[in-house]
Structures are given as C-alpha cells and as structure tokens.
Structure 1
Amino acid sequence: MQAAGGSEVWLVRHGETRWSREHRHTSVTDLELTAAGVAAARALEPRLRGTAFDLVLTSPLRRARDTARIAGFADAVVDDRLHEWRYGDVEGVSTAAMRQRVAGWTVWTHEVPGGEQVDDVARRADGVVERLRDAGRSLVFAHGHLLRVLAVRWLGLDARAGAHLRLDTGTVSVLGWERETPAVVRWNA
C-alpha cells in the first residue's frame, strides 16, 4: 500500500442510458448511451484532459467502456470487478416498482432476489480499492451503485453507507486523503 496521500482516484459514472434515465436497475443488460449520455461523455474529455493518470480502468459493460472511449480513454483497462451490482430478478425494475412488492425496499437494506447482496459487491470493491491504493493517480469508469460502494470502502466504511452518496450519470468524483485518513476530495461534480 502506498503511503497516505500517495494515491488519488478519479471516479466517472458512465453517461446516461435509457434505463438510468428511467431509474431502472441496470446491470447485465448492456445498454447503449443515449444522445444525452454521449454528450455528457464528450463533456468529460476537456475536464480530464491534461491530468496524468497512472492507471485507467473501466467496467466491462458497454456504457462504461463507451464513456471512457468518448472521453479520450479508449485504452482503459477492463477490470471485471467494476461490473455494476448484479441485480438478478430486479434487473430492469425501478426501486418504486420494487417497493410496491416490498415496503421500503432498497438494494442497501433488503435482499436482491437472484442477484448480488451488498456484501458481495463490497468484496469486489475491496479488491479494486487495494489495486487503486498502489497505483498513484487512477481514473475509473463504472456505474452508480458500484462506485458508491467503492467510495465508502475507500473510506473504510460499511458498504451500506453508499446509500448516503448520490451519484449522477456523467459526473466526476475524486477520492484521496486528508493527511493519513482516506477522504472524499470531490463528489458528484
């Protein structure tokens, strides 16, 4: 592990898809970016240009890979652990629709039928965090729920704390250090 303050992680949530616009859980369904999603990815390029990254990673899913490519990082390395939370029977279903079945349902607090549970996603994120801590400045293109879990695991918090972090499509967040303490430098910008 690098010394505190020696690593920094830039997180990019992919651009908008039809299902992200509709607030539907999207994991294994490999959707394309909408026109707004492509525009958001293009807008990332000047924000990221000029910053040197030691490691650039992407989820294997098209929406993240396309965002990386359009933003100027076509050579991003695929890390399968950055795959979005596997939603199982909730794939394509909104939280509102799930709450008609189970009062108060969220991925953070309830079972995800046929899919990954929060601790499963945390284990994947922990492996990525370990890799990122040794990498200097990194850039990661991935997904809303996965990136929220990754961020709180960077901070040393329980994965369920990710529920408190809103993360919009096409945004940049930065994780780093406050002296020797892992910290959020910028979020959802």
Structure 2
Amino acid sequence: MSAELWIVRHGPTEWSRNGRHTSVTDLPLLPDAEDDARALAPRLEHLGPTLVLSSPRERARRTAALAGFPDAILDEDLVEWGYGDYEGLTTPQIREQVPGWSVWTHASPGGESAEDVATRLDRVVDRARSTEGTTLAFAHGHSLRALAARWLGLPVSDGRLLRLDTATISVLGYERETPVLLRWNS
C-alpha cells in the first residue's frame, strides 16, 4: 500500500496553552501561533497532497490556510473529542471531582464516548486509505492521537501513548502492508 496520511495539529490557542479542554469552543489561534502555522508551509510545500481536509474549527482552518492550504475540505469527522461538561476545564480541575480522570479512560458527561470517536475517525482512515496518493489533515490534539491509534488498528485509548504538540506534523503510512507511524510530533 502506498497511501499516506499526513496530520497537522493546529497552532496554539489561549486554552491549549493553559491546558483547558477545547472541543466545540471555537477559539482563534494566538498571534504568535500564526507564525507557528506559517512555519509549517515550507515543510509541506513539496507534498502535493491528493486530498486536503480540515476540522471546521477556526483554529484548524486557520492553521491550514497559513500553512498554504486555504481550500482544505472541511470534515466534521476531524473535530476534537467532545468533552461535554468538561469543556474549558483543565485535567486538574476535573480530577478534583473525578480522581484519576483522563479522556482516554473515563467518560466525559455530555460528551463523546471513545466508541463515538472511533466511529468517526475510522471514516477518516477509510477516506485516506481509499485516496490515491497523500491525504493531509489539519485537526486537534486528542482527535489526531486517536486517529493515529485507529490507523494502527488500535483502540482509541491507545492514543494516550502518543504525545502531540501544537503546530506539528506527523505521518501515518505503511511498511509493506502493515500500518505504521512514519514520523511523529515533528
């Protein structure tokens, strides 16, 4: 197989810098984050992707545009994990009520389940694998970590093993017929 899925986490927002869980809240990039997004352009200009996708959230769309892909197709399947009642809270704040809480291991009241996230990210994997050439996707921290786990055939919860910083590029591909991480968090 030759399909590759290049994934880009959006640049920093005020909430991502402060560790606040952000799914549906549509925050802009911080001013210096726009520079981070522009810095992605020379690293992606040679790529010539067949398909370019973006989460519809402003932070992902703006990162795509500044990285040289203003016409990315908006894909609801790439939105961030829905945190429900935990939207805007930090992990330490949540753990005051639910000791040991993690999005990877615990429910988020009013939010998405791991199964819901897997279902929509499996559609992204299928779309990338059925595209001749390279797919490039701009999205969010937890959703992209979960996407990588699904690419590898692992449960969403294994995304917890993959740290992903803002404004980084990762590449999912194959070694022969086996799905692998070709590059991570670079």
- Please say whether Structure 1 and Structure 2 have the same fold, judged by a TM-score greater than 0.5: yes
The DSSP-based 3-state class of the residue aligned with 1:68 is helix
The equivalent residue for 2:134 is 137
Q: Which residue number corresponds to residue 178 of structure 1? A: 175
In structure 1, the partner of 2:23 is 27
Q: Which runs of 4+ in 1 moved over 6 A?
A: none
Amino acid at match of 1:21: R
Q: Report the alpha carbon displacement of residue 118 of structure 1 after superposing the two structures with TM.
A: 1.2
Aligned to 1:14: 10
Q: Match for residue 46 of structure 2?
A: 50
Aligned pairs for 1:21-170 (under 5 A) are: 21-135=17-131, 136-170=133-167
Q: Is the 8 A contact 1:173 1:188 kept in 2?
A: yes
RMSD: 0.6
Structure 1 position 116, deviation (Å):
0.4
Which amino acid is the alignment partner of residue 137 of structure 2? V
- Partners of 2:113 and 2:47 lie apart in 1 by 35
Alpha-carbon distance between aligned partners in 2 of 1:50 and 1:154, rounded to the nearest angstrom: 24
TM-score w.r.t. structure 1 length?
Answer: 0.96
Secondary structure in structure 2 of the residue aligned to 1:173? strand
Contact 1:148 1:162 (8 Å CA) reproduced: yes
TM-score, scaled relative to structure 2: 0.98
Distance 2:126 2:46 in 1: 26
Shift of 1:36: 2.3
Query: 1:177 Cα shift?
Result: 0.5
Amino-acid identity (%): 58
Partner amino acid, structure 2, of 1:157:
L
**Which ranges in structure 1 are unaligned for 5 or more consecutive residues?**
none
- Structure 2 distance, partners of 1:10, 1:16, is 19
